[in-house]
Amino acid sequence: MTVVASALTAVVVLSLIALAIGRGASVADRDPDAAPGLTDPIVESSRIDAEPIPADRSISSLPDADWVATIAGRTGIPIRALSASAGAALRLADEQPACRLEWTTLAAIGRVETVHSTIFDSALDETGIATPPIVGIPLDGDGVLAIPDTDGGAIDGDTDWDRAVGPMQFIPTTWAIIGSDGNADGRADPQQIDDAVLTAARYLCQRERDLADPADWAAAVHAYNPNTEYRTSVASFADRYADSANG
């Protein structure tokens, strides 16, 4: 079991009170002095296509394979998860260039939320789906926000209360609004890594945010999960990944 799994009990009350989509477990090794915003080596590179990226192309196919292998080795991020984070950053650089979203932020959120889809002994299968499905605790008002069931259990398997689901931990109401098809299979599945990460990217870039601006970056992560400890942890991992990637 990962470090997040062992820490989940102690922090779940704080990390599941978000009003928006992010409801992940906090992690150890937090750096209270961490700050977001190091240069993203893939978005700043020439790997962004000159022509618009086709919407029917899986985001995980967008990053350069050699770059992914190199950065995975430097950062310890699994290749499948890194491909999704880098690909989503490239797609958003094409869709919303003013947002300036870095793959490091997406990877950091994935690390804090589910340890790159490995929490609760889950793993990504060959199609990028978290198996077994990642499902959070019921949001039943017992120390957490109370959200009665909104989806008939279709997404989270609970017909009484909503739960956060998938690699990036979305609640059903948010997924219903912004759920995206990141692997170009014609459907949006919150348990599928490409779909989940692209949805997170689009969520962070809402409200015309420029994530190269520290204030906008903080606002975006706050919208994902308003817990201060959560935001500090995401910043710490984002900077750690950027430092490793650039080293």
The residue that leads in pLDDT, 139 or 54, is 139
| Residue written as token pair 């098809």 | 181
> Per-residue pLDDT for 1 more than 90?
no
Task: State the pTM of this model.
Answer: 0.81
Task: Output the pLDDT for position 187.
Answer: 94
What is the rounded distance in angstroms from the CA atom of residue 196 to the CA atom of residue 41? 22
pLDDT attached to residue 162: 96
- Grade residue 145 by pLDDT with cuts at 50, 70 and 90: confident
Model confidence pLDDT, tens digit, residues 180-211: 999 999 999 999 999 999 999 999 999 999 99
Q: What is the pLDDT of residue 51?
A: 57
Evaluate if residue 30 carries a pLDDT over 90.
no
Task: For residues 172 and 181, give the distance between their C-alpha atoms in angstroms, rounded to a whole number.
Answer: 15
Q: What's the pLDDT score for residue 55?
A: 72
> What percentage of the chain reaches a pLDDT higher than 90?
74
State the pLDDT at residue 202: 97
DSSP assignments along 17-74, one per residue: --SSS------SS--TT-------TTTTSTTS-SSPPPTTS-GGGSS-HHHHHHHHHH
Identify the CA nearest to 169 among candidates 142, 200, 204.
200
CB neighbour list of residue 57: distance below 8 Å, 6 or more residues apart? 184
Cβ neighbours of 60 (radius 10 Å):
25
CA distance 77 to 234: 14
The pLDDT value recorded for residue 224 is 94
Closest C-alpha among 157, 152, 154, 160 to residue 179: 154
CB atoms within 10 A of CB 89: 28
Q: What is the pLDDT of residue 38?
A: 36
Cα 40 to Cα 123: distance, rounded to the nearest angstrom: 27
Instruction: Please tell me the distance from the alpha carbon of residue 64 to that of residue 240, in angstroms, as a whole number.
Output: 21
8 A C-beta contact, residue 223 and residue 217: no
pLDDT higher than 50, residue 213: yes
Percent of the chain with pLDDT over 70: 79
Encode pLDDT of 104-125 as tens digits: 999 999 999 999 999 999 999 9
Report whether pLDDT(41) > 70.
no
Mean pLDDT of 224-231: 93
- What lies within 8 Å, CB to CB, of 170 at 6+ separation is 21, 164, 179, 190, 196, 199
